[in-house]
Structure 1
């Protein structure tokens, strides 16, 4: 279901029902763009066959945030503005000034917006109140923040925090490569990125390439740190871990899908089965990943610039 994961910590056993959460989200229901609006977003049912904003299966919540955006390139606005400015110059005998040009640009934008094409996109949000996770299916933290802002606005005292681990993902991935040893239940795959911590920010990428331990160590010894690493967990899920603890390229492996094959079901039952499979295995993966990074960091502890706990902290 999800291809990406921006991961956040939710208070475990959060005392809210799917119906209660749906009531909070109802005022933020998606409404199509107005003729002069550039962008709008809001919640839509996770399934077209459902009227609710919260789809629940086995105490797991699934939300879908929909965004509609006008496609009006700045280059088009600038081109039409220049043409209008030239016409205005011929009429008044002198070129428009800065204020007049700004007003002209705003007028052109208002005229073009109703005729602009629109693009619809959606983002899945999985809430696991049992194990305390919230995951947004976005490759960009900024996009995920858009969903979080709506949730914070809709739900009073929404109990969400960032995930802080004892060892930073960048430092941990670098150590795994340097020792040529992945943590328990994980294996290292063939994609990685190493970037210099020096001002040059020199970067080396391996794509579908066998990672030779000696070569990788040479890069690390020259000051490079791993910023992205392809991994497989328990022979069930492959993914790429980034230095900010986000996950990309999530793929459930065939052995897992075969074990949970759902046949003879209708579309809604297959959807629920897929969601149950994803949520159950992903929750285990997140717990294993946090454990591989040394566990969660208490609020009163900080890490140094190398991603490790500062000396003397306790």
Structure 2
């Protein structure tokens, strides 16, 4: 269950429910599979295993929950092809084309007929809530999916004030500064060998792997006005990741010592013990690294007054 991606959010004015009340709130929105007539459905699932009944795990103020998302795979091209075939058959038999409204009704009919036959795809998205730091991190590949998890959490709790974590120095500016001026790099920052450079004017992108970030060629590109939009970096003993210009962390790789410690723990083949052991080690690293990242980028920006969102 080690996170691969991380979208970070600051929690504002949160009144943290006790674990029992929190569990009850999640249970009211527990996941149920999509019906024959639904395109998608989301709900809370049990992070440990299908045999578990626990929706929320807490270790030293760190909470773990997981959203299950299920959708039916019905490509638009398949629907449109069927609609076109039926529309052509109607035109040949009736001698006139369908009106716009009739075609829309036909499309709805086709959708209703094909939907129960469509395959389903399920995806689990984990959320880490550091109640001491008032920080939420979501293991999602995109910001859109992370926001979907937050929407479900707002619905479950009644309301939730959060804003994307922001730093005083924008990530693109900070990453560009670290490459163009090696002396500006924080002592605890470890640079990797992956980078993406974006041009300000034409939106052209240059991506490179296994490169010397201090090479003359790299300096020439930076002097030409390009900014770093992605950069691999890390912290000793914690993790490595690719930092994006929206402060998202992708391709997380935790330190081998942490993974070894987790693998050597005797869990008695209990999936809950295994999950909570991994979670405790992972969140200790994530919490420390997040604090370092904020420090590297000049501290946290003063958040604008968040607007309360309710279901």
Scaled by the length of structure 2, what TM-score is found?
0.91
Confirm or deny: 8 A CA contact 2:238 2:255 kept in the other structure.
yes
Displacement of 1:127 after TM fit? 0.6
Displacement of 1:14 after TM fit? 5.0
Q: What is the distance in 2 between the residues matched to 1:8 and 1:159?
A: 10
Aligned to 1:163: 165
| Paired residues for 1:128-277 under 5 Å | 128-181=130-183, 182-198=185-201, 200-259=202-261, 261-266=263-268, 267-277=271-281
Q: What is the distance in 2 between the residues matched to 1:206 and 1:117?
A: 37
Displacement of 1:260 after TM fit? 5.0
The secondary structure found in structure 2 opposite 1:188 is: strand
Aligned to 2:20: 19
Describe the superposition over 1:178-205 as per-residue Cα deviations: whole angstroms up to 9, x where unpaired: 013532311111000010111x112111
5+ long unaligned stretches in structure 2: 306-311
Q: What is the distance in 1 between the residues matched to 2:303 and 2:167?
A: 10
Displacement of 1:161 after TM fit? 2.6
Q: What is the distance in 1 between the residues matched to 2:104 and 2:189?
A: 56
Displacement of 1:68 after TM fit? 0.7
Does the C-alpha gap of structure 1 residues 233 and 13 become closer, same or farther in structure 2, counting only changes over 3 Å? farther
Scaled by the length of structure 1, what TM-score is found?
0.90
Displacement of 1:296 after TM fit? 1.0
Aligned to 1:46: 47
Aligned to 1:288: 292
Stretch moving more, 19-28 or 77-86: 19-28
5+ long unaligned stretches in structure 1: 302-314
Confirm or deny: 8 A CA contact 1:13 1:131 kept in the other structure.
no
1:297 partnered with 2:301: yes
The secondary structure found in structure 1 opposite 2:93 is: helix
The CA RMSD over aligned residues, in Å, is: 1.8
The secondary structure found in structure 1 opposite 2:8 is: strand
Aligned to 2:309: none
The secondary structure found in structure 2 opposite 1:232 is: strand
The secondary structure found in structure 2 opposite 1:28 is: coil
| Paired residues for 1:108-123 under 5 Å | 108-123=110-125
Displacement of 1:11 after TM fit? 4.6
Q: What is the distance in 2 between the residues matched to 1:13 and 1:299?
A: 15
Aligned to 2:92: 90
Confirm or deny: 8 A CA contact 2:166 2:247 kept in the other structure.
no
Displacement of 1:16 after TM fit? 2.3
Describe the superposition over 1:285-306 as per-residue Cα deviations: whole angstroms up to 9, x where unpaired: 00000011100112469xxxxx
Q: What is the distance in 1 between the residues matched to 2:113 and 2:266?
A: 53
Aligned to 1:308: none
Q: What is the distance in 1 between the residues matched to 2:246 and 2:194?
A: 17
Does the C-alpha gap of structure 1 residues 105 and 8 become closer, same or farther in structure 2, counting only changes over 3 Å? same
